Structure 1
Amino acid sequence: MARRTPDSHDFPTRSYDLVKEFAVALAVVLVLSIGLAAIFSSPDEKPVTMLGWAQAAPDDVVATAVGELAGTTTSAGYGPPYNSASEGQKLGPLPLQKLGGVRLPVDSASLVLDPLSGIANNPNLTAALQEWNAAAPDQRTKWATDYSDAIGTAAADDQPATGAGGDPAKVAPGEYGPVPTLASAFLGVAQTGGLEGALTSSGNFYGGDATRSLLLLSDGAYLEDQARAKHLAGDQWGMMNEVGNAPGQPWMWLYTFWYQVPPFSTSGNADALVWGTMMLLTLLLLFVPFIPGLRSIPRWIPIHRLVWRNYYRRIKTS
């Protein structure tokens, strides 16, 4: 009788090239990944930059800068975490935004003055900054507010103008102090690309905190116009949309839905109200097994029996 070796067996065998199998599988997966990514991936949109803003809507840059100096922009009156200008959004009597406190203090005027303070060899700008700093707060506000109103009047008189502000060259003469010089110099910095790093945490190109630059950009009309053109605004289901025809985030539909219907769509506390609504729905889902009535819905509407009909058929016949 033949003696069996440890690796002997009675079933047939054939050679198998594991490396070849791995190489083929890798090639197939790579081709599929590249092809599907090219067809279904998110579009590679160019970022919105301060330079692009200044080139596309210079009047809007000037109007936004003046608004920052006057303290009339959205961020200037936003409240916590940037300032104490308002209590912010509430959930009933609970001031949720105020409870967080001012953790990232931002002075709206500094969004304009800080980049300008680093410019040298500009006597007119230096004199304008000195005049601004020497003036009383009420005087600064009056200068900036008057110039902002004059820009708005110029925009209303010049219908073809684009952007949120009118052409500064068409603003009626008035007592605006150093504000026109500051606004003009600010536009010049933006058009050279100097604002890209001037407002970051470290004050240079490699700064990592973009909070202040984003606040400045969002205070103008240009960024919102870009978002609306791509159907990304809040009242356009923006949180779950994607640019172009690419798939968005369908799991966000429930959260986004509330922003489209009253009273959320007409409330200044929409974010707080939607958050509260979602927390309530989450708690209801969490405690479904303990809530009388809700926990009985599966017995009244036995959809699960249709899904698991084979199982229930076997249970019934056994």
Structure 2
Amino acid sequence: MATLTRTRTTTPDSHAFETRPYDLVKEFVIALAVVAVLTTVLAAVFSSPDDKAITMQRWAAAAPDDVVATAVGELAGTTTSATYGAPYNHASEGQKLLGLPLQKWGGVRIPVDSQELVLQPLSGFAGDPRLAASLQLWRSASPQQQQTWATSYADALAKAGGNPAAVPVGGYGPVPLLASSFLQLARTGGLEGSLTSSGNFYGGDQTRTMLLLADGAYLEDQAVAQHLGGDQWGMMNETGNYPGQPWMWLYTFWYQVKPFSTSPNADAQVWALMMALTLVLALLPWIPGLRSIPRWIPVHRLVWRQWYRAHPRA
């Protein structure tokens, strides 16, 4: 009769292995210090520049004539935001695509009165009876009279090279005083935050502030100087021409070539083109011809050449 024997396995004694002390806390502190030093050094060498924000006060100090011209343009209704259309106003149909007014269809969701970009801050500027009288005169005038005053002063400013002091006396109504008071308010810092409380308790809506800044020439000049212009691939740059969002190159590329670079409907056209390209990419496995490109141009075989050497075709 065969005898079955069971082999017992003995559990090794943990004390039989060689041991050495290990200070986990010390290792953690050393690693933390090394990473902190490397992070600090790399951030100092490769970090993006931290430029100061452009404020109304800085704008008034650097380009006072531009502030005056912008204020007059807002009163005349001739600035970019005043004539933009949706979503701010009904002044134009906006950008179109194949004749379809897509911008207009979006509707006016953020109503902005360009005159109030100037009048609202001035209304809270108490203590000046001349300004109060000028505001009252402006608000009591008809829209046609307001347009005449503001347009006449804007034309006189242009003839004077943008210098308010060189503008001859004329029938400008209260516009010169309103514009000069607006500049004075900007210089004192009183414009900061005056346009952000658009029905918001916390005052965090910067829409009207940005529209006012963008209506002037100063903000655009600063953007171009920092290589952020539309014809400078600015969408994928950071300030100072630092590399920013490289994944945006395909989107901003179209703005550099015709017909998009010269079209007034470039935003709508580029958006439609990108949507079409995205749809083609999503449906690529089902598009005859395009889905066969990898077989015609076998770049993947170069990438995985070792595997293909080991697994030749039958």
> Do both share a fold (TM > 0.5)?
yes
Cα distance between partner residues in 2 of 1:6 and 1:202: 75
User: Does the 8 Å contact 2:86/2:106 carry over to 1?
Assistant: yes
Q: Which amino acid aligns with 2:45?
A: I
Q: For 1:74-113, list aligned pairs within 5 A.
A: 74-113=80-119
Q: For 1:115-264, list aligned pairs within 5 A.
A: 115-155=121-161, 166-201=162-197, 207-244=203-240, 246-264=242-260
Cα deviation per residue 1:17-38 (whole Å; 9 max; x = unaligned)?
A: 2111211111111111111111
Match of 1:60 in 2: 66
Deviation at 1:245, TM superposition (A): 5.3
Cα distance between partner residues in 1 of 2:135 and 2:124: 11
Match of 2:14 in 1: 8
Cα distance between partner residues in 2 of 1:299 and 1:178: 74
Query: For 1:71, which of 67, 71, 77 is the aligned residue?
Result: 77
Cα deviation per residue 1:17-64 (whole Å; 9 max; x = unaligned)?
A: 211121111111111111111111110101111000001110000000
User: Does the 8 Å contact 2:236/2:249 carry over to 1?
Assistant: yes
Cα distance between partner residues in 2 of 1:204 and 1:119: 21
Please report the TM-score for the alignment, with normalisation by the length of structure 2.
Answer: 0.93
Query: For 1:277, which of 249, 255, 273 is the aligned residue?
Result: 273
Cα distance between partner residues in 2 of 1:114 and 1:60: 19
Q: Which amino acid aligns with 1:175?
A: G
Greater CA drift, 217-226 or 119-128: 119-128
Cα distance between partner residues in 1 of 2:273 and 2:117: 35
- Work out the number of aligned pairs and report it: 306
Deviation at 1:16, TM superposition (A): 1.9
Distance 1:94 1:11, change over 3 A: farther
Please report the TM-score for the alignment, with normalisation by the length of structure 1.
Answer: 0.92
Match of 1:37 in 2: 43
Cα distance between partner residues in 2 of 1:317 and 1:264: 47
- Higher-Rg structure is 2
> What are structure 1's unaligned runs of at least 5 residues?
156-165
Cα deviation per residue 1:287-313 (whole Å; 9 max; x = unaligned)?
A: 111111111111111010010001111
Q: Secondary structure at the match of 1:196?
A: coil
Q: Secondary structure at the match of 2:227?
A: coil
Deviation at 1:172, TM superposition (A): 2.1
Cα distance between partner residues in 2 of 1:136 and 1:152: 24
User: Does the 8 Å contact 1:41/1:246 carry over to 2?
Assistant: no
Cα distance between partner residues in 1 of 2:21 and 2:128: 81
Query: For 1:301, which of 288, 297, 304 is the aligned residue?
Result: 297
Match of 1:48 in 2: 54
User: Does the 8 Å contact 1:197/1:204 carry over to 2?
Assistant: no
Cα distance between partner residues in 2 of 1:231 and 1:190: 27
Cα distance between partner residues in 2 of 1:202 and 1:257: 36
User: Does the 8 Å contact 1:80/1:101 carry over to 2?
Assistant: yes
Q: What is the root-mean-square deviation in Å for CA atoms of aligned residues?
A: 2.0
